[in-house]
Structure 1
Amino acid sequence: MALQDDRAPLAERVEQLLDTEGPLPIVAAGDPVLRRGTEPYDGQLEPALLTRFLAALRATMHAAPGVGLAAPQVGVELRIAVIEDPAPVPEEVRIARGRVPQPYRVLVNPSYEPVGGARAAFYEGCLSVPGWQAVVARHAEVRLTGLDEHGRALDEVFSGWPARIVQHETDHLDGLIYLDRAELRSLSSNQTAAERWAQPTPERAAQALSFELP
């Protein structure tokens, strides 16, 4: 794999990144690229390169595996993210979390605003913070605006788990990671979360670890 030169033009750096065989390397927390925020996408990548980049993002998300991936997580400071969730969860989890399948989507220059005042708190993880989970209270319903990969306008209301995914990935584009919004008393290794806190809701964890839920 060729090393990226942060001083090179963005399109050139993306070309270098795509020289990688297999999934793209995912940037871990602590790397400044996750904190700098992103620049709006305005044709910085010519169409064929954009298509290749989006395909690589999707393949990397699948391989991780995850349900969303933002461009800064592979070192590219563009306001682009991809999401996709087959939602292979038990019925009780689906009902408690509102986790329903989401088709593959590309989010270009997305932003969100809450719809109503309801909030929901669940354990959440991040591909850039491997091995850990924490409870995050987020808006239960959001309105997402932006563009798709073809430049068509997006204006859609998301609720339940899809709303969580949209907020998580859009936050990445603003230089935020989920721990910035998390209840840190809930922070658990993946192993501990699986062994102790795998219930559909985090009420038991909140009692045992002494943190509040909305």
Structure 2
Amino acid sequence: MAILKIARMGHPVLLKRAEDVADVSTPDVGLLIQDMMETLADAGGVGLAAPQVYVSKRLFLYSVPESRSEGEEDPPCGVQVLINPVLEPVGEELVPRLEGCLSIPGLRGEVPRYKRVRYAGYDHRGQPVEGVASGFLANVMQHEMDHLDGILYPMRMDDLGKLGFDTEITRYGVRT
């Protein structure tokens, strides 16, 4: 296993639609997942998409730390894998979410996200998975899915006045 380098905003791999994973059972996919898990743990993030480690494939990792759980509908979960994901909103309600990104270190911004999303895809063993996510989990899944579509969170922001450095956002909060 290895800690992979994380692509930063400005690299072309982050701005194009990733390709489907043709065969989930290949050793290359298993190794990529292991390396991404180690990279995510090292970086201290809650999600990581393959394009962020310079691999243009439709796969991402996600988690909900206990400190970020928002209740019964959004319980904590360890790192999970979603391959060839499909997400669709459940309803039209959007909520503002403060987001950061390992590919845009040091910044945070307020992004409108669907409150709930239905998801489907495959796990690390190639088994189908599906469900409905809400709260922090829905946010992480939408953020990581955007990476697979070549979208970075500032592209989703309604107001760039709500983009700032982590230290300043922590000190002063997001202006409303």
Q: TM over 0.5, yes or no?
A: yes
Q: Matches of 2:166 and 2:155 in 1, distance apart?
A: 18
Pick from 74, 85, 101: which aligns with 2:76? 101
* TM-score (normalizing by structure 1): 0.76
Supply the AA of the counterpart residue of 1:160: G
- 2:115 aligned with 1:115: no
User: 1:107-146 counterparts in 2 under 5 A?
Assistant: 107-146=82-121
User: What secondary structure is seen at the aligned counterpart in 1 of 2:162?
Assistant: strand
Alignment partner, residue 38 of structure 1: 18
What do the CA deviations read for 1:146-193 (whole angstroms, capped 9, x no partner)? 111222112210001100000000110011111111131101101101
Provide the C-alpha distance between the structure 2 equivalents of 1:24 and 1:40, rounded to a whole number of angstroms: 21
- TM-score normalised by the chain length of structure 2: 0.91
**2:66 aligned with 1:87, yes or no?**
yes
Aligned to 1:66: 45
Letter in 2 for 1:63: D
- Give the alignment of 1:1-214 within 5 angstroms: 22-43=2-23, 47-89=26-68, 94=70, 100-182=75-157, 183-197=159-173, 205-206=175-176
Structure 1 counterpart SS, 2:35: helix
Counterpart contact for 2:85–2:145, Cα < 8 Å: yes
- Output the CA distance in 2 between the equivalents of 1:168 and 1:122: 10
> After TM superposition, where is structure 1 displaced by more than 3 Å over at least 4 residues in a row?
none
Larger radius of gyration: 1
List runs of 5+ in structure 1 lacking aligned partners.
1-17, 207-214
C-alpha contact (below 8 Å) 2:64/2:136 kept by paired residues: no
Partners of 1:83 and 1:110 in 2: CA distance: 12
1:212 — aligned with what?
none
Query: Shift of residue 99 of structure 1?
Result: 6.0
Supply the RMSD in Å over aligned alpha carbons. 1.9
Please tell me the residue identity of whatever aligns with 1:38.
Answer: A
Please give the alpha-carbon distance, in whole angstroms, between the structure 2 residues aligned to 1:116 and 1:29.
31
The aligned residue for residue 211 of structure 1 is none
Structure 1 residue 70: Cα displacement: 0.3
* Number of equivalenced pairs: 174
CA separation of 1:99/1:135 partners in 2, compared to 1, >3 Å: closer, same or farther? farther
| Structure 1 residues 146 and 94: alpha-carbon distance in aligned structure 2, compared to 1, 3 A threshold | closer
Equivalent-residue separation in structure 2 for 1:99 and 1:192 (angstroms): 28
Identity across matched positions, percent: 34
The answer to whether the 8 Å contact 1:68/1:82 transfers is yes
Letter in 2 for 1:34: L
Q: Distance in 2 between matches of 1:127 and 1:136?
A: 16
* 8 Å Cα contact 1:87/1:99 also seen in 2: no
Deviation string 1:58-99 (CA, Å, 9 cap, x unpaired) is 11111111000000000000101111232325xxx846xx86
